[in-house]
Amino acid sequence: MSNPVVAVREGKIRGVVKNLLDGSKYYSFKGVPYAQPPVGKQRFKAPLPLKPFNGILDAIEHGPVCPQKNFISQERMEGNENCLFLNIYTRSLKPDSKIPVMVFIHGGGFASGSGDSDIHGPEFLLQHDVILVTINYRLEAFGFLCLDIPEVPGNAGLKDQVAALHWVKNNVSQFGGDPENITIFGESAGGASVTYHMISPMSKGLFHKAISQSGTFLSDWAFQTNAKERAYKVGKYLGKDTNDPYELLKFLQSVPSNKLISISSKVITKDEKHREAPLIFTPVVEKKFSNSEAFLAENPVDILISGRFHDVPLMAGYNTAEGLVFVLPELRKLEIKNKFPSHFLSRQLIERISEEKAIEFGSRLKQFYFDNEEITADNIKVLSDVLADRHILYPIHRFVNFYAEYCKSIFMYRFNLNTDLNFLKKALGFEAEAGACHGDDLFYIFKNNMNDDKYQEQEKLKDYINMITKLWADFAKLGNPTPDNTWNTKWTPYTKSSKEYLYIDEVLSMGENCERDRMEFWDKLYTEAGLPASSKSNL
């Protein structure tokens, strides 16, 4: 079988034929450009549409990753600013095949990651007759610098994602895909991105279902304030002390890209280090300008609770030991956290309450989670729980509750599989801890360099991978993750009254009101602070 050539709107691209795990064929197109390179004068700006090209473009290898620091290895990856590429994997190239499309948005705190197959390989999902698209988007300051001017209002990285979705919508039928059945899904910052697309006018009509894994925009780490001040700090650190945004822009566009990699660590404040996950270049509320379209023009919470979102079926959930990913940095802060337990509170709470109230809330938190005992490295489980609740679980519960005011097609899950595939937990040194760590779910969805050997060796792992990918793919196809009786369990939709969820373990089962006491504790704090909590009645 010769290398396939597909005509897209901008020109022709050539891919390769590869084998799935059962020996059947699929077509791979890697490193496909979806926008103009955001380089030179385009650095920090919204992406421009791709120009038509002549000849046939080889789509055999991945394009460069965006400049970044690897989240796990902490290695600096220079990559290339010309990084706006996507990858398409499909079993059919017949335009009338109408195959459901799944577009994956990678995580990494808006600061690292890519769509490459070293982590996000397609072979597990493609067994269920879907098309997989993975994307790169600009990271950290490259993607999320904000100067509050029309040229750089912020959110360039999210606008990259929109440009990729436009490309998919326009071209996916040429790869056998159905442009009227596109599901966006993502994990961590990718999950938060999914929820941003659900409220952005720029994303309207570009997708039809959404899956958010371990992240929503209601987490502190998914939203930045004081963005303009941060940009000036970057300039000052690199040698340009100015209050003129245009002078700063000109300077920052001339700086070598490697000087901007991991710039967050150079401008983060001491207080932010103590309180926050160290992610400071993230999405913002943009100033409105007449000559540029905003991705997000008002507070996302206000948009969500007023029901002004794209009403699409939603699958959302989290892993049972999410907080382990935050534990190691916290162990270095135990002295200050014992002295000031208010540092466990979310930024949203701190910004709404007095210092006196923050001290009181912190004391209540220490009493609730730690029985007022000294917080030590011996109670990893409890430390993990409070960090998970603050950074991931409570924001997801809040999001799902607000969404459920208007949408009835919501499927919530709690992921607890704990096998040799839980690579992130192992990498962090927490193999002995129960449950699934943040990011562990990815190894059940994507074939990659780490899980390939285990997959071949253990039949049981094949069963779990098949179970997870079938749930995800069936939701993408039909908006119903359990359309048949394959698992002897019907995943029933979430309601505000019972808070139904699917417990994903070696055997699937339904439950209600997960982490109830812990979620009610945070609800109470948010309500007392005058913040919207679990329902509109809390406003």
- Per-residue pLDDT tens over the stretch 60-114: 999 999 999 877 667 888 889 999 999 999 999 999 999 999 999 999 999 999 9
Q: How far is CA 484 from CA 209, 449, 474, 475, 477, in A?
A: 19, 32, 10, 12, 13
Q: What is the pLDDT confidence band of residue 536, given thresholds at 50, 70 and 90? A: very low
Q: What is the pLDDT confidence band of residue 269, given thresholds at 50, 70 and 90? A: confident
Q: What is the pLDDT confidence band of residue 538, given thresholds at 50, 70 and 90? A: very low
133 and 32 Cβ atoms separated by less than 8 Å: no
Q: Which of 90-94, 186-190, 366-370, 448-452 has the lowest mean pLDDT?
A: 448-452
* Higher pLDDT among residues 44 and 1, named by residue: 44
What is the SS3 assignment for 403?
A: helix
* pLDDT (mean) for 149-162: 97
Q: What's the CA gap between 445 and 440, in Å, rounded? A: 10
Q: What is the pLDDT confidence band of residue 274, given thresholds at 50, 70 and 90? A: low
Most distant pair of Cα atoms in the chain: their distance: 71
What is the SS3 assignment for 31?
A: strand
What would the DSSP string read from start to end of 208-247?
SEEEEES--TTSGGG--SSHHHHHHHHHHHHT---S-HHH
Q: How far is CA 42 from CA 50, 137, 496, in A?
A: 13, 14, 45
On average, the pLDDT of the chain sits at 94
* pLDDT (mean) for 474-496: 95
Output the pLDDT for position 533.
Answer: 81
Q: Is 291 a residue whose pLDDT tops 50?
A: yes
* pLDDT (mean) for 153-170: 98
Residue with tokens 């799902």: 400
Query: Which residue numbers are catalytic?
Result: 188, 322, 438
* pLDDT (mean) for 414-419: 98
Residue type, 440: D
Residue type, 211: I
Q: What's the CA gap between 298 and 311, in Å, rounded? A: 19
Q: Is 535 a residue whose pLDDT tops 70?
A: no
Pair type for strands 314-319 and 410-415: parallel
Residue percentage of the chain with pLDDT more than 90: 84
Residues 6+ apart with CB under 8 A from 345: 275, 358, 361, 362, 365, 390, 525
* pLDDT (mean) for 244-257: 96
Rg of the chain over Cα atoms, rounded to whole angstroms, equals 22
Q: How far is CA 290 from CA 143, 148, 149, 293, in A?
A: 22, 13, 11, 8
Side-chain half-sphere exposure of 209, counting CA atoms within 13 A: 28
Q: Is 26 a residue whose pLDDT tops 70?
A: yes
Q: What's the CA gap between 350 and 427, in Å, rounded? A: 33
Residue percentage of the chain with pLDDT more than 70: 97
Nearest to 166 by CA among 130, 140, 212, 200: 200
Residues 6+ apart with CB under 8 A from 133: 86, 87, 88, 89, 101, 102, 103, 104, 164, 168, 172
* pLDDT (mean) for 530-535: 79
pTM: 0.96
Beta strands in 320-403 (DSSP E): none
